[in-house]
Amino acid sequence: MAQVLEFKLPDLGEGLTEAEIVRWLVAVGDVVAIDQPVVEVETAKAMVEVPCPYGGVVTARFGEEGTELPVGAPLLTVAVGAVSAEADAEPGPGAGSSGSGGGSGNVLVGYGTDTGPTVRRRRIRPAEVVPVVPAVVQAAPEQFEPPTAIGPVPVISPLVRRLARENGLDLRELTGSGPDGLILRSDVEAALRPALEPVPERAGERVPLRGIRGAVADKLSRSRREIPDATCWVDADATELMAARAAMNAAGGPKISVIALLARICTAALARFPELNSTVDMGAREIVRLPEVHLGFAAQTDRGLVVPVVRDAQDLSADSLSAEFARLTEKARAGTLTPGDLTGGTFTLNNYGVFGVDGSTPIINHPEAAMLGVGRIVAKPWVHDGELAVRQVVQLSLTFDHRVCDGGTAGGFLRYVADCVEHPAVLLRSL
């Protein structure tokens, strides 16, 4: 008698944990070949046809079209063995009556008929499944690859099968480490990995990761490990922004810093694109959009990099922002920042232009969702009003958490910031 095997939704890679059934490619009673696509599913990344690792008769399907299933949930069951010779087979093109002209005679799973390369889907009733009676048939050219082993190879993931196939690895030679001997991707990778010679311990000076350096290492490692970040950047003509700052400072009173003007632009941009002033709660699987902008800024000190936080930056003027940046920078250099000065940020501004560099790809300050990096403002050739001119140019870089938004939102934020840098009057319209 046939053996009924359950095929579960495989791990489709990319860290995806569920998929939606878009279209069933087989029905109950259909005969399927090994690795034949049986269902089309949609993940968060793409539409995928999922092949079944078993050959036989479909006895059950789980989930209607439009149903979302988690990875590991049952998709269908297959009676593995063979099918009845005459079980409701649809005659293929050119098939005649029994005994003449070839027709669709006994067909083993994965093979065609003797009428040519066209293979028609056949339906039988599950009750008609019987043990296989081997028949000598000719495989249809370039249609299916005949099975080379008795019984199914214990592999679910089509990615694992493809990885093995592309590297010429015979899965029958592996012993799976998964449940019931299931062959996992790690098993295939281990079989393909050449033996590595032990690497001798490198000699050299060892510097302990302690204090601020250790805290920075932990924070940045966690950011890279947990946040799927992406970066976009743009060059902007900052000539008018610098001219506006010069005019403001010429009017008397406290001097306004460039970073204060950029901070004012950032708070206006975050009001338009609040997705970037947020954090991700993976435990609850929620994006938490934050009402206040607590603006962190990177400050390099003799003790290392620190990120003081300006509270409620959205309510501060350029004058007030300049005063707060100056106060916190002085505390950072003196080593007197409190834990309250260094925690609770929602967005970070990083002016690495002070180091004389044009660009960088900032690492997000976990658990925030974005960071704006600013390079040096330097005179460069630039097309202005249709003519080549020497202008003050700056490169702006935005690194963002791809979980909270897509490139359109990030690009919109960065473009608004660049527009305000190039035309400060744009910012006045948003106040």
Q: Report, as residue numbers or ranges, the catalytic residues.
A: 402, 406
Reduce the DSSP state of residue 287 to 3 states and report it.
Answer: strand
Could you tell me the sign of the dihedral formed by the alpha carbons of 93, 95, 96, 98, in that order?
negative
Q: Say what the alpha-carbon torsion angle 98, 101, 106, 112 is, to the nearest 10 degrees.
A: -150
- The DSSP secondary-structure symbol of 99 reads T
Strands 36-42 and 18-24, sheet pairing: antiparallel
Other beta carbons within 10 angstroms of residue 217's beta carbon come to 12
* DSSP codes of every residue in 346-409: SEEEEEGGGGT-S---PPP-TT-SEEEEE---EEEEEEETTEEEEEEEEEEEEEEETTT--HHH
Q: Which amino acid is at 165?
A: R
**Encoding tokens for residue 326?**
């100056």
CB 276 within 8 A of CB 364: no
CB 365 within 8 A of CB 277: no
Phi, psi of 68, rounded to the nearest 5 degrees: -100, 130
Q: Say what the alpha-carbon torsion angle 109, 113, 114, 118 is, to the nearest 10 degrees.
A: -130
Name residues whose C-beta falls within 8 Å of residue 31's C-beta, 6 or more positions apart in sequence: 56, 57, 58, 83, 107, 109, 121, 122, 123, 124
**Encoding tokens for residue 399?**
């690194």
H/E run at residue 236: strand 229-237
Name residues whose C-beta falls within 8 Å of residue 246's C-beta, 6 or more positions apart in sequence: none
User: Residue 237: which of 383, 398, 429 has the closest Cα?
Assistant: 383
CB 72 within 8 A of CB 16: no
CB 397 within 8 A of CB 220: no
Burial of 73 (0-12, 13-18, 19+ CB in 10 A): middle
Q: Which amino acid is at 127?
A: A
Reduce the DSSP state of residue 291 to 3 states and report it.
Answer: coil
